[in-house]
Structures are given as structure tokens and as C-alpha cells.
Structure 1
Amino acid sequence: MLGEMWSFRGRYKILHMTWFAFFLSFVVWFNLAPFSTAIAADFGLEVGQIRTIAICNVALTVPARIIIGMLLDKYGPRLTYSLLLMYAAVPCIIFASAQTFNQLVVGRLLMGIVGAGFVIGIRMTAEWFPPKEIGLAEGIYGGWGNFGSAFSAFTLVAVAGALNFIPGAFQVPDGPLLNWRFVIAATGIIAALYGCLYYFNVQDTPPGKVYQRPSSTRGIEVTTVKDFWGLMLMNLPLTGILIVLAWRLKKVGFLNPGTFGLVVACFIALYLFQAYNCWAVNKDLLSGAKRYPAEDRYKFKQVAILELTYIVNFGSELAVVSMLPTFFETTFGLPKAMAGMLAASYAFMNLVARPGGGLISDKLGSRKITMGVLTLCMGLGYLVMSSIPAISARVGQGSTPMVILAVILTMACSFFVQAGEGSTFAIVPLIKRRVTGQVAGNVGAYGNVGAVAYLTLYSLVPEGDVGNVIFFQTLGIASIIVAFLCFFILEEPQGSFAEAHEGEDLVVPGGSSVPDGSYIG
């Protein structure tokens, strides 16, 4: 696969076009972080307000990933991804033209929907690559696309400085003149244009292969009564984290007490509506009128464990990417631009770490053990990062060797974080093919549950070294707990290294099929 990957034809063309779609969605989604201090200075925002905007950036991604997963299974990745990229221009323009704090909040809330694009490519990639190669393929898609966040941190500030002759530029107190409004709007417009290009250049499945759809996309189809109640339990945090977000918006004055109560009631109603839809999809199973044969069943606990792994790996990545520039700036007394570039080293590792995690999962022979080991190493990495402020205080703030050591520790930790993400989505497409979009949507949504939870914690801890230590220690302990759940509860998916997905035939160039083969493209 590695040798053919640069051919840009067949399934490799689909892979490259899809990871770049994901890349652009992340450039758009993370175009706030490089300008956070400039925007705070421009609008006179307090620390709590700018942190709230950062939380809003990931909030609606929680329900959006679930909804996108449903639409994906029904309409296919080609149409779904194209429309989402075109939509990206809307929140970018709203945010770029904002004149008040409330308008900034609205723009970032709507921006969170763009973050749901990740789950679309998971199914697209799974349709074009067999199980034995799914880890590396999904890792390339996720890792190279995820690099969009690092690309934003590395380049957007420089572009905004170069364009400062356009009206709308703002002087950062200790930095360059930045035209952040123009750059943020431009990222959305570029994504929308690529959405049109994507629609006319990809297909949902290889020639001759049928796109499998669930009988209903209203809720996830489960195969045992016990799994239905597990699904109801795992849906609770998805609603709970939205209530936490509403509480944060009330704390900064965006919602008054009356409106807050109404919003909470709406979220509870949303959970009940979601529960009703899940019941409607599975009512025959619950009544006993339908019983799945053993070969057609899957265990929902597999989904639940993967949801928890994505909380601690991708959830922590989103949170760390949002706070790391400030961490380097305050811990080492660095200029904003330099702190942003050093912080981008965390996301930079996506280029190799996430594909690496998928490749390890493909080659090691056990996706379960890979998942557990990477999650454990990630937890230990975060605990090591929690020691950076104390070491820096002893050595001296701004010490060049200490800064270099901190960057090395950050990159080492991020390798395990992103390799763990790759390992998670090396398993997701193998759970149950016809509901891959919905499973990916739920697992992906839990990543944002983690992000909102961690960023809420970060907004509540004291500023400075003490808060940073608490933050990283929390990430580390949570990761270690989930690692042990992987070792003792997660099971090896059936057909982890097969030549074809469950229920799939081999499609050969002449158009005929051979049972139990894999697509040759």
C-alpha cells in the first residue's frame, strides 16, 4: 500500500482528496486559536470570555457528529462532505464580521458543526480499503487531515500580517499588525470551493460495490436488548456536556437564568427525542418480534469503550491544542508568535503519529493490545508534561534548553495521543459495516465531550503553573483508567485482518465478483 499511495488514482485518489477535505475543515475549525489573544485585545475580552469562545468552538460538534453520521449512512460521504465544506463559509463570515462578544459566540457555535466532517471520511475510506489495510488508511486520512490545526497555527498569523494593508487590521499589543478578519473569512471560502471540487471528483464506493445502508438512520441499530440499555446510558453524557456548555455561557452573561433553564429543558427534550428514535429503530428487537442471528450481532460495549478512548485521546488533543500556545507563552515568557509555533509541534505530529498508530494496529496482530498500550503511554506522557512547570521554575523561565526539552516532551506525548486516535478508528469501521457512519459519529462526538469537559476544567482551575499541572494530571489519570478498560473489556473485532469487510465480495477489474475477497483498485 505504501508504494502505491502516491499514484493518485483509484482508491488512492479518493484517500488523498478525502484527507485534504478533512484538512481544510480543520483549518477552518481551528482558525480561532492563532488569533485568540489578538481577538481578546480587539474586543477587550476577559480571560473567561475568550476561554468560553474556545469551548463554544467544540460544543455543537457533539450533536453535529451524531447527525452527520446519520446523514452519512443515508446519503453517502460524497454529498455529505461536499455540503459540509460549502457550509463552512457561513460561520467563518459571521465570525469575521462580528462586532460584539455575543456575535463571536454565535459564530463559534456554528463553527463547531464543521468539526463533524471527520466522521464522513471514516466511512469513505472504509468503503475503499479492506480491513487488513484499514488502520493505515484511516490513520493517513485522520493524521494528515488533522494537521490542519497545526497548519493554522503555523501560517495564519503570518498571512494575516502580510495582509495588514487591507482594512480591518488590528495591532496586537506586543506583536504585528494582523488582519485576522480577512484570513478567517478566506479559510471558509476556500473550503466551500473545495467542497464543489470534491463533489465532482469522488464516488461513494468502488465500481460494482453496493453502498450498504441501515434500514433506518433515526438511531443506532443494536442487536441485543442489553445493548439497547447500554446505548441509552452512553447517550447521557452527550446531553450532559451540552448542559455544561450552557452553564458556562450563563457564567459569562451570554444566557440569563431564565434562558438557561429553557436551554436545559431543550437539551433534556433532545435526549428524550433521541431515545425515542433509538426505540423506534429497535422496537421489534425490544418486543421480541425480531431476533438477530449470532453472525449478524455486534457488541455495543465495543462502541462504548471506543467512545471512552476517544474522550481521552482526541478530546485531550482538542483541549491541549486550544491551551498550549498560552501554556508556552506564560510558562516560558515567550512572544505570542513563537509560543504559537512551538505549540503547533503537538499537532504537527499528526503527520506521522496517527498513520503510525493505524499501521501498528494493522501489523501487530492485535488491535485491542495496540489500543491499550498506546492509551497507557499517552497517560504517562501527560503526567510527564505536568512536571514541566516545576522543572522550568527550577531551571529558570525562558531557558533555551528547558524550552527545547518541553517541546520534545510535548511531541513525544502527542505521538501516543494521535497514534491512539489512529488505533481507535482502525477498529471503528470493523464494528458493524452498515452502521459505520453512526458508530463513527457517536465515537467522534465523545471526542468533543472530552474536549468540552477538559476545556471547562481548564477554565475553572487557577491561571498559571498550578492550573496547568492540575490540567495535565487530569488528562494523564483519565487516560490510564481507560487503558485498563481496553485491556480487560475491549475485544478483538471479528475479521480484523481479513481481505474484505463483513458481507462484501471481491470486485475485480472485469466487473465480476469473488466472494470473500477485497476490492482491487
Structure 2
Amino acid sequence: MLGEMWQFKGRYKILHITWFAFFLSFVVWFNLPPLATTVKADLGLTAEQIKTIAICNVALTVPARIIIGMLLDKFGPRLTYSLLLMYAAVPCIMFASAQNFGQLVISRLLMGIVGAGFVIGIRMVAEWFPPKEIGLAEGIYGGWGNFGSAFSAFTLAIVAGWLAFGAPGSELNWRAAIAGTGIIAALYGVFYLFNAKDTPPGKAYRRPKSTRGLEVTTKKDFWFLMLMNMPLSGILMLVAWRLMKLGLYGTGTMYAIWAALAGLYLFQAYNCWTVNKDLMTGKKRYPAEDRYEFSQVAILELTYIVNFGSELAVVSMLPAFFEGTFDLSKAAAGMIAASYAFMNLVARPGGGLISDKLGSRKLTMTVLTGCMGIGYLIFSQVNNSWFLPAAVVLIMCCSFFVQAGEGSTFSIVPLVKRRVTGQVAGNVGAYGNVGAVLYLNIFSLLPGWLGGSADPTPAIEAAANARFFQIMGVAALIVAGLCFVVLKEPKGSFADAHQGESETVPEPILEPEKI
């Protein structure tokens, strides 16, 4: 595959135009951070308001990834990705034309939906590549596409400077730069619509009978699904509490949001019941060869919490960490921290390739997650007495294991159950954002917990940083242990074709109703 990858035809064409679609979705999703200080100064925002906008940027990505997964399984990746990219222009133009804080919040909440684009390409790539190559293919898609966030960080401020055209009183035209990313994404959405195909010629696109909720194949798994859906609403309740603490609204509004989120969970549970009603009432049972274990989805959700969730959190705090620990300039600290994101170009494809070549996707997932945990625990000991290059090398090693673990996770996702791949990818992807929101809130609260004051001392900040990396390290080691015990090698992990492609999948057996 490595030798043929540079061909722009057949499945390799689909791979390249799909990872670039993901790349653009991340350019759009992360177009604020490099221009945040300019937006803050231009509109007279406070530091707390900028933090609020940053939280809004990831809030709706959690439910959006679930919904996008459902739409994907029903309508196919070509149409779903094309429409999402076209939609990206809407929140970009809204944000670019905003005149007050409220308008910024609404547009940034809508922007979070664009961050759900990742799950679409997971199924597209799985349709075009066989199981034995799925790790590297998904790794290239995820790693090269994920680089869009780093691309935004390095280029958007420069582009905004060019677009200012030397206008007096404005060094950066942030409005034109942000609107431009959305317009480019929308144009590419049109290109993708006319150039991508859901499946190779002669191959049918397999859809679940219903996309209202995730289909499970045993009664026990239904209740397990209900349990694992709770954190998806719970983390949004945490976001609502955080926004209340930042003064966006009062406690009454927060309780109303909590009630709405509880209703959303019940609505989701009802939809899952509707999809699985015949199973739960005994009218349907699945033959053994058509069953899958939801525990495999659950463990992949946990792995994505500790790898992708920690990546988003570390990317957010690493510049300040290097600046404060080693007394560096903002520019130097930012460049060093950016090396963490740059690893996506090789680490995530590397994790997928290791998963393909090692001969055991379970072992790969376990080892990479364990090494990530050990790396974070070692990095928690970094302080100003360390040799700076040694600290940089260590965080690069951590980054490799984190992003290789992400690649390994999504080398398994398409192999769980083919016809619900979109929904499985959506659930696993949503848990990555659950991890990010959880870790970011822990990081923001740790100084207060340790120091008990509004303005923590440098010593308290250093202790909070160390504790933060220790928490992520211990969490990763726990999940690595669960991978070793719970995770199973998917059937046909290294086959030449996906399970069921060359044979008819047995229909569920309908039991006669008891009279």
C-alpha cells in the first residue's frame, strides 16, 4: 500500500480527497485560536468571555458526532460530508459578521457541528480499503486531516495580515480570514459531491434498517448502551455549569438546560428502544454470526477519551506550560508546543500501520495506551531544572503514543459491525470530546483545588501541571489494563475483504408472538 499510496486514482483518490475534506473541517473548527487575541481586542471582550467562546466551540461536537453518525449510515459518506462542508460557511460567516458577545457564542456553538466531520471519513475509508490495510488507511485519513488544526495555527494570522491590506488601525483582518475558511470549505464540499463515491464499483452500501439509534444484538448490550450514553449528556451538563460560573447566565437558566439535557437523554433512549424493540420484547433474536459485543464499542470509547481527549487538552495548555516552566517567550513556547500537533502527520498513520503489521490489533491498542500513560507520568516530573531539549523529546514521545493510539482505535472501529460503522464511529468520536471537556475542566480547576485562592502562585501552578499529567497518565494505564482484559481481536482483522462482503448476512430470526 505504501508504494501505491501516491497514485491519485481508485481507492487512493478517495483516500486523498477524503483526508483533505477532514483537513478543511479542522481548519474551520480551529480558526479562532490564532486570531483570538485580535478578536478580543477588536470587540472589547474580557479574558473570561474568550474562554467561554472556546468552550462553546467544542460543546455541540459531542451530540453532533452521534447525529452525524446516524445520517452517515443512512445517506452515505459522500452526501453527508459534502453537505457538512457546505454548512461550514454558515457559522464562519456568522462569526465573521458578529458585533457582540452573544452573536459570537451562538456562531461558535454552531461551529462545533463542523468538528463532527471526522466520523464521516472513517466509514468512507472503510468502504474502500480491506481489513488488512484499514489501520494505515484510517491513520492517514485521521493524522493528515487532523493536521488542519496546526495549519490554522501557523497560517491564519499571516493570511489575516495579508487581507488587512495595510488598513489603518487594523493589523489583522480576522473577519475576512475566518469567513474565507468557511467559503473554501463550502466550495470543496461541492467538489467532493461530484468526485467521491460511497463504495467501489459493484459493491453495495450496507445500511442498518433504522438509524434512529444504535442497533445492538443482545438484551444485555441494550442496557450497557443506556449506561454508556449517560456521560454524553453528563458532560454537556458540566459545560452548562461552567458557562454559568463564567457569568453567561444564572443558576435558573443552568437548571433549565440540565432539564433539557435530561430530556435529550430520554429521547435518545427512546429512539434506541424503538430500534431494538423487537429484540427486547423477544420477537427477534440474532444468529451468532450476526452478533457483536457492545463491550467492544465501550472500550474503544474509553481509549478515545484517554488519547484524543488528552491530546486536545494538552494542546490547549502546553504553550503556557513551556513558557512558565522554562521562562520562554510566547513565540518560542508556541513553536515548541506546536511540535505536539505536528506529530499527527506520522504518528497516527504509524499507529495504524503498527496495528496492520503486528498481527494483533488488541495488543497494539494495549501497548500504545500503556506507553502513553507511562509517558505522561514521566512528563509530570518535568520542571525548570530539566534540560529543555530533553523535555521537548519527552513530549514528542508522549505525542507519538497518544496519536498512534488514536490511529489504533480507529483501525478497530470499522471492524466492530459493518452496517453500523457510522454510529459506532460517532459514539467513539463523541467520547473523545467528552474526554477533552473533562480534562480541560479539571485543568482549569486544579490550581484552585490545590491552592484555594483566585490567583495561584507559580508553585501552585507547577504543582497543578504535574497533577494534571499524573491524572492523564493514571487514566491511560487503567484503560490499558481494561484493553488487555476486555478488548477482543475483531473477526477478520487482517482479511482481504470485510466480513460479509462476499456472503449474505443472515437476517434476524423472528420469533412468533406468544398468545
Query: What is the TM-score when the length of structure 2 is the normalising length?
Result: 0.92
Aligned counterparts of 2:147 and 2:154: Cα–Cα separation in 1: 11
In the TM superposition, residue 20 of structure 1 has moved relative to its aligned partner by 0.3
Residue in structure 1 matched with residue 507 of structure 2 by the alignment: none
Aligned counterparts of 1:479 and 1:453: Cα–Cα separation in 2: 14
Go from structure 1 to structure 2 and tell me whether the alpha carbon gap of 1:326 and 1:474 turns closer, same or farther (over 3 Å shift). same
Aligned counterparts of 1:188 and 1:205: Cα–Cα separation in 2: 28
From 424, 434, 441, the counterpart of 1:439:
424
Aligned counterparts of 1:386 and 1:39: Cα–Cα separation in 2: 33
**Is 1:331 aligned to residue 325 of structure 2?**
yes
> Could you report, residue by residue, the CA deviation over 1:344-386 in whole angstroms, capped at 9, with x for unpaired residues?
1111001100000000001101100100110111111222222
Gapped regions of structure 2 (runs ≥ 5): 448-455, 505-515
Write the letter of the residue equivalent to 1:39.
Answer: V
Write the letter of the residue equivalent to 2:485.
Answer: F
From 384, 398, 406, the counterpart of 1:421:
406
Residue in structure 1 matched with residue 140 of structure 2 by the alignment: 140
Residue in structure 1 matched with residue 334 of structure 2 by the alignment: 340
* Alpha carbons 1:48, 1:459 under 8 Å: kept: no
Residue in structure 2 matched with residue 516 of structure 1 by the alignment: none
* Alpha carbons 1:33, 1:322 under 8 Å: kept: no
Aligned counterparts of 1:327 and 1:132: Cα–Cα separation in 2: 40
Aligned counterparts of 2:194 and 2:464: Cα–Cα separation in 1: 49
Q: How does 1:199-348 map to 2 (within 5 A)?
A: 199-348=193-342
Residue in structure 1 matched with residue 397 of structure 2 by the alignment: 412
In the TM superposition, residue 240 of structure 1 has moved relative to its aligned partner by 0.1
Write the letter of the residue equivalent to 1:143.
Answer: G
In the TM superposition, residue 86 of structure 1 has moved relative to its aligned partner by 0.9
* Alpha carbons 1:168, 1:181 under 8 Å: kept: no
Write the letter of the residue equivalent to 1:117.
Answer: G
Q: How does 1:397-408 map to 2 (within 5 A)?
A: 402=388, 404-408=389-393
In the TM superposition, residue 471 of structure 1 has moved relative to its aligned partner by 2.0
Go from structure 1 to structure 2 and tell me whether the alpha carbon gap of 1:46 and 1:328 turns closer, same or farther (over 3 Å shift). farther
Aligned counterparts of 1:281 and 1:503: Cα–Cα separation in 2: 22
Write the letter of the residue equivalent to 1:308.
Answer: L
In the TM superposition, residue 289 of structure 1 has moved relative to its aligned partner by 0.6
Residue in structure 2 matched with residue 160 of structure 1 by the alignment: 160
Write the letter of the residue equivalent to 1:490.
Answer: L
Aligned counterparts of 2:350 and 2:53: Cα–Cα separation in 1: 33
SS of the residue aligned with 1:334? coil
In the TM superposition, residue 38 of structure 1 has moved relative to its aligned partner by 3.5
SS of the residue aligned with 2:500? coil
Go from structure 1 to structure 2 and tell me whether the alpha carbon gap of 1:168 and 1:335 turns closer, same or farther (over 3 Å shift). farther
Residue in structure 1 matched with residue 125 of structure 2 by the alignment: 125
> Could you report, residue by residue, the CA deviation over 1:316-365 in whole angstroms, capped at 9, with x for unpaired residues?
11122222233333333433333332221111001100000000001101
In the TM superposition, residue 167 of structure 1 has moved relative to its aligned partner by 5.1
Residue in structure 2 matched with residue 16 of structure 1 by the alignment: 16
> Could you report, residue by residue, the CA deviation over 1:83-111 in whole angstroms, capped at 9, with x for unpaired residues?
11111111112222333233222222111
**Is 1:186 aligned to residue 180 of structure 2?**
yes
Residue in structure 2 matched with residue 61 of structure 1 by the alignment: 61
**Is 1:497 aligned to residue 494 of structure 2?**
yes
Go from structure 1 to structure 2 and tell me whether the alpha carbon gap of 1:502 and 1:311 turns closer, same or farther (over 3 Å shift). same
Gapped regions of structure 1 (runs ≥ 5): 171-176, 396-400, 507-512, 514-521
* Alpha carbons 1:154, 1:341 under 8 Å: kept: no
Residue in structure 1 matched with residue 379 of structure 2 by the alignment: 385
* Alpha carbons 1:168, 1:179 under 8 Å: kept: no
> Could you report, residue by residue, the CA deviation over 1:212-269 in whole angstroms, capped at 9, with x for unpaired residues?
0000000000000000000000000000001001111111121222221211111000
Go from structure 1 to structure 2 and tell me whether the alpha carbon gap of 1:167 and 1:189 turns closer, same or farther (over 3 Å shift). farther
